Chains A and B, each alone.
Chain A
């Protein structure tokens, strides 16, 4: 089945710092890859996605590139804001008869002003 290894947190940054959260995955075939974000007290929200190799997903200044050769999907943002403080989850989905998202442990990001 699908699995994911995600960078352990917590990560604490100052506002405007550069962010990288590493994610590597194992999955059947050619999965779609997703980053979800969970803000304090809320459910998960889809942040960005990539559906094939070399695709770059982007949203709200965050980016991640689907690297098939290294089975990675690292999340980056050039300049974080306090409002980006949240837990970030990487998740592959192999599709087909596999309906579930397999989440990593999540990475808690705290951005200080």
Chain B
């Protein structure tokens, strides 16, 4: 069964450093998403991406964040200058066209900012 994959599974970084989280969505999906879950809190939407551009973003997704689809398979989330409060589990998801609500999630990357 096709699945969304994410790398790395755990990333530790120093405050102020840049991190790139990587995702490989399901191959025939055209919508891509990033969510995050701070420990013990709810899953929060960050951004959605379709047709090589951001289609929607939340207030959390400020200028420190960016997304990119650098090739035909990867989808990345970059945090330019990490803060302590960026520590969270980051989930990538993808969905088929016409089935936006049926999102397939990856296993997540746990980001720890020290």
Binding site for B on A (CB under 8 A): 32, 34, 36, 42-46, 49, 89, 91, 93, 95, 97-106
* Contact of B42 with A99 in the complex, beta carbons under 8 Å: no
Most chain B CB within 10 A, of A44, A95, A98, A105, is at A44
Kindly list 16 other residue pairs between chains A and B, CB separation below 8 angstroms, not including A44-B103, A97-B55: A34-B101, A34-B102, A43-B107, A44-B43, A44-B93, A44-B105, A46-B103, A46-B104, A49-B101, A89-B43, A98-B100, A100-B48, A101-B103, A103-B42, A103-B43, A105-B42
B52 to chain A, nearest CB (A): 15
* Range of interface residues on B (Cβ < 8 Å): 20 to 34
A104 to chain B, nearest CB (A): 7
Number of A-B contacts (CB under 8 A): 58
Chain B residues, CB < 8 A from A100: 33, 45, 48, 56, 58
Shortest Cβ distance from A100 into B: residue: B45
CA distance A91 to B41 in the complex (A): 15
Q: Mark B44-60, 1 if CB is under 8 A from A, else 0.
A: 11001010000110100
B37 to chain A, nearest CB (A): 9
